[in-house]
């Protein structure tokens, strides 16, 4: 198992290097002159050239990339073009907010999705199944940002229950977490249902019934654990999607996380900041995928034996 984890972490290194290379070169494809943009319209060519030299932008792109990489290995993501502060410090100040939002949204979506999916499968082709699947289908199809706007309209502006934006109290996280978690809840519920429907038709479930076990034990102990693998995959994928979706949710609710910082940096053409945000989110995404793979082993003994 330890060997497998080590192998997976080692495999992540070339992928992450590839990501830094890709993002670095895409960001430097951007038309326009960064030094000129920082100095404003009245800057002379000499001033622009001097600033470019100072920032190291006049060196070949590959040299700039290797410098960036060396900095990255030391935890230094460069200096923001707009604020002049350290990118690492700024991102680290915002990161806890994104983690908090993603975790709350994930917990909300899992807690709602699993019972919904299991209930739909157990009560297949009844009204319970139909209602839960219609809710899931609508959830999958609803754009996150639209749901966010609708939640603000109803709960903040009409009912005055939650704040429109900010991160001042526990109330502030309720609407962003619902809007981020709802779509994921729908996907997880759909997968749980289809996997459970298949599992409860297996011979070993019939055997469990024949042995006289209670329905609750059969569903939770025999069917649920065996039907969990696809659900775990989807939960992992959805947490990755949440990192992408947090950009939208954080923008709508002015939540001070990394997603919002990234959009602000895109608008300000702050290349180091955008790169820092993307790299951090990619690392998180890769680790979530790793954890999902490891969870397979925890849930399924067949997978566990493959690691040995």
Partner 1 sequence: MNSSARPATSEELDFLSVQKNSQFRETFLRLCQNKAAVAGMIFLVFLILLAVFADLLFDYQTTCVDLNIAERLQWPSAEHWFGTDQFGRDLLARVVHGSRVSLSIGFIAVAFGLVVGGILGAIAGFFGGAVDNVIMRLCDVFLAVPMMLMAIVIVAALGASMVNLVIALAISCVPTFARIVRSAVLSVRDMEYVEAARAIGVKTGRTIFRYILPNCMGPIIVQTTLRIAATISNTAALSFLGLGVKEPQPEWGALLSSGRDFIRDSGYLATIPGVCIMLTILALNLLGDGLRDALDPRLK
Of residues 163 and 245, the one with the C-beta less far from partner 1: 245
Among 15, 62, 63, 103, binds partner 1 (CB under 8 A): 15
Among 18, 56, 96, 166, binds partner 1 (CB under 8 A): 18
Q: How far is the CB of 143 from partner 1 (least distance, A)?
A: 5
Compute the least distance from the CB of residue 156 to partner 1, in Å.
10
Smallest CA-to-CA distance from 246 within 213, 288, 196, 293 is with 288
Query: Of these, 153, 161, 298, 306, which contacts partner 1 (CB under 8 A)?
Result: 153
Euclidean distance between CA atoms 301 and 308, whole angstroms: 11
Our CA dihedral for 245, 246, 247, 248, rounded to 10 degrees, sits at 70
Question: Residue 241, interface with partner 1 (CB under 8 A)?
Answer: yes
Q: At what angle do helices 87-122 and 271-299 cross, to 10 degrees?
A: 40
Supply the DSSP symbol for 293: H
Binding partner 1 (rule: CB under 8 A), the pick from 138, 161, 291, 306 is: 138
Residue 79 vs 194, nearer CB to partner 1 = 194
Residue-wise over 212-233: b if at least 16 C-beta within 10 A, else e?
Answer: eeeeeebbeebbbebbbbbbbb
Piece of the chain touching partner 1 by CB under 8 A; list 29-37, 80-88, 91-99, 121-129: 29-37
Identify the residue among 182, 255, 285, 296 touching partner 1 (CB under 8 A). 285
Q: Which of 200, 243, 253, 272 binds partner 1 (CB under 8 A)?
A: 243
Can you give the C-alpha Rg of the chain in angstroms? 24
C-alpha–C-alpha distance, residues 236 and 233, integer Å? 5
Q: How far is CA 70 from the centre of its chain?
A: 27
Residue 262 binds partner 1 (CB under 8 A): yes
The first and second tokens of residue 74, run together, are 């030391």
Q: Which residues bind partner 1 (CB under 8 A)?
A: 14-16, 18-19, 22-23, 26-31, 137-138, 140-146, 149-150, 152-153, 157, 240-241, 243-245, 247-248, 251, 262-263, 266-267, 269, 274, 278, 281-282, 285-286
């Amino acid at each position: 198992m330890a060997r497998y984890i080590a192998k997976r972490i080692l495999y992540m290194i070339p992928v992450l290097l590839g990501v830094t290379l890709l993002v670095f070169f895409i960001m430097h494809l951007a038309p326009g002159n960064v030094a000129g943009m920082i100095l404003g319209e009245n800057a002379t060519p000499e001033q622009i050239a001097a600033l470019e030299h100072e920032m190291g932008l006049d060196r070949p792109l590959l040299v700039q990339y290797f410098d960036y990489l060396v900095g990255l290995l030391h935890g230094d993501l460069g200096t923001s073009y707009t604020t002049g502060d350290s990118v690492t410090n700024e991102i680290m100040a915002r990161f806890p907010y994104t983690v908090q939002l993603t975790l709350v949204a994930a917990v909300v979506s899992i807690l709602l999705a699993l019972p919904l999916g299991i209930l739909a499968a157990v009560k297949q082709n009844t009204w319970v199944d139909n209602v839960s699947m219609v809710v899931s289908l609508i959830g999958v199809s609803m754009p996150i940002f639209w749901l966010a706007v609708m939640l603000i309209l109803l709960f903040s502006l009409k009912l005055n229950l939650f704040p429109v934006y900010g991160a001042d109290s526990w109330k502030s996280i309720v609407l962003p977490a619902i809007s981020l978690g709802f779509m994921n809840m729908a996907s997880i519920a759909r997968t749980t249902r289809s996997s459970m429907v298949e599992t409860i038709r297996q011979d070993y479930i019939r055997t469990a019934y024949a042995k006289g076990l209670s329905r609750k034990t059969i569903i939770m102990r025999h069917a649920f654990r065996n039907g969990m693998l696809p659900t775990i995959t989807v939960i992992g994928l959805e947490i990755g999607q949440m990192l992408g979706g947090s950009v939208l949710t954080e923008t709508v609710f002015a939540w001070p996380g990394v997603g919002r910082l990234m959009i602000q940096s895109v608008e300000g053409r702050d290349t180091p900041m955008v790169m820092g945000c993307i790299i951090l989110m990619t690392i998180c995404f890769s680790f979530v995928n790793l954890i999902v793979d490891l969870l397979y082993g925890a849930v399924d003994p067949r997978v566990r034996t493959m690691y040995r």
